[in-house]
Amino acid sequence: MNTNPKETTGGILTQFAIMQKRLSDQISLREHLKENASAHAISDFLYRSQETYQTSSVSFVADETSVDYQEVLHFFRLLDDKFFGSFIVGRKGNDSRINWTYDHNSIGAFILGKSTELKKVSPNAISYDGGSQSSDDITHTFHLRPNYKLDILLPADFDRQDLSRLYKWLDTIPFD
């Protein structure tokens, strides 16, 4: 037990300052939601997401919410400024992402005003949402008949070995 009154008072003042900052953050973020429908959609997604992640990518959240990539990027940076997570800029093929300081469901609830409590990220949370799928695929269109067009999605590095496998597969399709 701490009997030093200065340390006890300092600890209480520190906790009070943290609570005041969080209240201020909640108010400013709620004001931001009133002016920004994209931020509201992202917060709602964070709150309602069935899966909980330790890290979320900008591309995954943009895909899941249909919010513009740059808007998600801006909102994640805002959350980083408020210490809800640590924003990491994607480099060398990695997605830009945020490592959550708190459980993203509780962050969403906090921002939306449904809760005043921020819970730590569970050790059972999924490490990473996986980002978005690779965009290295190329769509090819083949006009099989005058009134029928066939679209096929192939990897950008499609080679003769892939062609041989595809040909063999096409040869197995039954018809008559």
Enter the tokens of residue 127.
Answer: 């490490």
Q: Are residues 95 and 147 in the same domain?
A: no
Q: Are residues 41 and 58 in the same domain?
A: yes
Q: What is the mean pLDDT of residues 137-162?
A: 85
3-class secondary structure, 43: helix
Q: Does residue 109 surpass a pLDDT of 90? A: yes
Whether residue 49 lies inside any domain: the answer is yes
How many other C-beta atoms are found inside a 10 Å radius of the C-beta of residue 32? 15
Whether residue 176 lies inside any domain: the answer is no
Q: Does residue 133 surpass a pLDDT of 60? A: no
Q: Distances in Å between the alpha carbon of 30 and those of 7, 22, 24, 61, 164?
A: 35, 12, 10, 20, 57
Q: Are residues 118 and 145 in the same domain?
A: no
Angle between helix axes 37-48 and 5-35 (nearest 10 degrees) is 120
Whether residue 92 lies inside any domain: the answer is yes
Q: Are residues 81 and 26 in the same domain?
A: yes
DSSP class of 142: E
Asked if 90 and 76 count as a contact pair (C-beta separation under 8 A), the reply is: no
Q: Are residues 38 and 115 in the same domain?
A: yes
Assign 4 a pLDDT band (cuts: 50, 70, 90).
low
- pLDDT at 41 (0 to 100): 94
The domain total for the chain is 2
Whether residue 16 lies inside any domain: the answer is yes
Give the pLDDT confidence of 45-85 residue by residue, as tens digits: 999 999 999 999 999 999 999 999 999 999 999 999 999 99
CA distance 137 to 135: 5
User: Which of 98, 110, 114, 117 is CA-nearest to residue 25?
Assistant: 110
Range(s) of the domain holding residue 147: 137-171
Query: Strands 126-128 and 53-57: what pairing?
Result: parallel
Q: Are residues 118 and 141 in the same domain?
A: no
